[in-house]
Each structure stands twice: as C-alpha cells, then as structure tokens.
Amino acid sequence: MIASRAPTGRTAAGLAALFVAGCAHEPAFRAELPETVDAETRAIAVIGDLQQTPGFVRFVRRRETTRREQLELIEDLEGRIDDLGALVIVGDLVYSARSDRDWGGFDALVSPFAAAVPVLPAIGNHDYPCILIQFCRKSNVSRGMLQRFPWFVPGQPYAVDAADLKLLFLDSETGLEGQGTWLAAELDAARGRYAAALVFFHRPPFTNSIDWGSEPSPDLLDNFVPPLERAGLPVVVFNGHMHGFEYIVRDGVHYVTTAGGGGPRGAMSDERPFDRYRGPDCAQQRSGTVFRPFNYVLLRRTSDGLAIEVRGFCGGDAAVARLDSIEIPL
C-alpha cells in the first residue's frame, strides 16, 4: 500500500520557482564531466524523462497533467541529496530543446543537485533541436544542452569510474554503429578490472509499452545489445523514453527503464513477459493496460552486489515511497 501524503507548501513554492526559472534565458549551472563519482559510500540516483509535454499536445493525445506529481517526486529525491554521489538522467531533459522556457524549468528542477553532486545525462530524442527529430539527429546538440553539459557531441559516448563500477553513457539517437564498437571495447577492457558495468542510454531495446510498440528497436538490437550480451561481466542497463517503469532480464543482461520523472505516463500491456517489477501498478487506462507510477531509482553498491531501490507514487493522495527493491549479486 502506498502511504497518503501530508500536504506541504513546498509544491506551491516549486511551481512558483519553475515559473520564474522558465522566464530566464541564462543557464543556472554549467556541469563538469568528472573522472570519478563516489559509489563506495553513496548512492547513484537515476531518473528519466523530466520533460513537460505542452498542454495542446496533452489535449490532442489525451495525456495527463503531471507538473505537481513531478515536483513531489523531485522533492523526495532532493531530500536524499546528502546521500548521493551522482544524479544520472537517462534522456529527455526537456520537451523542446529549442525552448529557453523548457531549459529554465529544467534548471529549477536540477540546479540544486548540480550544486551538490555531478549530474550526468544521456541524451534523449527531445534533447535534439529539431521538431521532426528523425530527420535531424545528426545535427548539433542544442545550445541549451551545450550550455549546461559542454562535453556533448552527437553520437559520442563517454565513461566515468565509480569505485569498482564502470559507468558508460551512450547516445541512442545517432551514430549507433560506432558507439557499438566503442561499447564492445570498453566492456572488454572492464572485464577483470571492474565488478560490473552500468550502461545508460535513452531508448530501451526491450519494452512492453503500448504507446510506442513492444517490438525492440532494430538499430539498438544490432549495435548495442550484442556487446552487452558478450560483456563477460555483470551489466545493468538504464533507459528512459517509455514513460513508466520496467525491469526486464534478457540473456543475462538487466534492463531497468526508469522513465517516470514527470512526463505524461503511457499505457503498458498488463501481460509483461520478462518483466520482473513487483511493485504496485496504477489505474488502468483501458482494458488490458496499466499505468506505472512516477518513479526514480537509487542504486547502491553493497558488499555482495548492487541494490536498486525503486521510489515513486501514482499521484493523487499518495506519498512518494519505496515501490520495489532489486538485488543483483556480483
């Protein structure tokens, strides 16, 4: 059972802060790419799809309004900021990468974390500066992205050490073949040196989403999945894009989709092969489908493996709470 929440004034204050930040054009922070993050004594938080869909798009596609729920979720995460070694965002930081207002709203959510810990994003489809994204994925990264994360180049992956974990970040929007080669080399080099590899990219190779279809992406299957399956060390993949939560294990690889950071949720089939999530679902959208809670995860290295705490809620009168826990032995 998900607990009821006590009303606070922080949500109203957060809405006001987002309105003010949404009017600003200058970035509130400029992140640096660290060589290492603290995963020995602290947790790594992973959240996805912070983008807020405009009202007319929600109306046309019959999507929910989620601003208040997003603020409550971020408030819960911010309450754990002293225990974090890093914040990872698995794509779709904003709805429109061309919008200063959207980037201002992103700043209001993320700048408290950027002042305290490294913020490490994997770029999503909405983070490219094009309305018809499929026709311009090879364009430059948006000005808003570069102002905050200046190391980004389209299709160029990057890596960060976290104690005995290797963190690998990929761009699922363009340059997949070259990144697949890089991923295979990084995983090969990590074997025997690291206890596990954590891989972050936006689009999941596997999903039970009804909105976007349950068929795996052929490009991801061809270029990213084979190196993951041949890694020779434990691999946990974190994705976004499908607005909900899934934990799928395929061919020894753990896939965690944590895409419930505030975008309107999409329906998932109530028949979910390979999905090991055991937390609560939310209200049915229609027969044979469910919504998953708004969510983020806390990843912690333990003495014998990885512990993943899934936190979130369905909204309404519920409070953000632990939804599920995942233990991956190493």
Q: How far is CA 201 from the centre of its chain?
A: 8
Q: In this predicted model, which residue has the larger pLDDT, 33 or 217?
A: 33
Residue 101's H or E segment, with its range, is helix 100-114
First vs last C-alpha separation in the chain = 31
Give residue 307's pLDDT band: very low, low, confident or very high (50, 70, 90).
very high
Residue ranges per domain, the chain?
37-329
Distance set, CA 91 to CA 9, 33, 297 (Å):
29, 17, 15
- Find the Cα–Cα–Cα–Cα dihedral 132, 138, 143, 148, rounded to 10°: 110
**By mean pLDDT, which of 41-45, 198-202, 314-318 is the weakest?**
314-318
For residue 255, what are its two tokens?
Answer: 């896939």
Burial environment of residue 162 by CB neighbours within 10 A (0 to 12, 13 to 18, 19 or more): buried
Q: In this predicted model, which residue has the larger pLDDT, 134 or 177?
A: 177
CATH 3.40.720.10 fits 37-329, yes or no: no
Average pLDDT, the chain: 87
Q: What pTM was estimated for this model as a whole? A: 0.90
Q: How many CB atoms lie within 10 A of CB 204?
A: 26
Measure the CA–CA gap between 60 and 97, rounded to whole angstroms: 21
Helices 100-114 and 10-22 sit at what angle, rounded to 10 degrees? 130
DSSP of 217-247: PHHHHHHTHHHHHT-SS-EEEEE-SSSSEEE
Measure the CA–CA gap between 323 and 313, rounded to whole angstroms: 8
Q: Say if residues 293 and 260 touch (Cβ distance below 8 Å).
A: yes
For 156, residues 6+ apart whose C-beta sits below 8 A from its C-beta are 171, 175
For residue 266, what are its two tokens?
Answer: 């999409």
Measure the CA–CA gap between 295 and 280, rounded to whole angstroms: 12
**By mean pLDDT, which of 106-120, 243-257, 285-299 is the weakest?**
285-299
As a whole number, mean pLDDT of residues 149-158 equals 93
Give residue 2's pLDDT band: very low, low, confident or very high (50, 70, 90).
very low
pLDDT over threshold 80, residue 179 = yes
- Residues 65-118 have pLDDT tens digits of 778 999 999 999 999 999 999 999 999 999 888 889 999 999 999 999 999 999
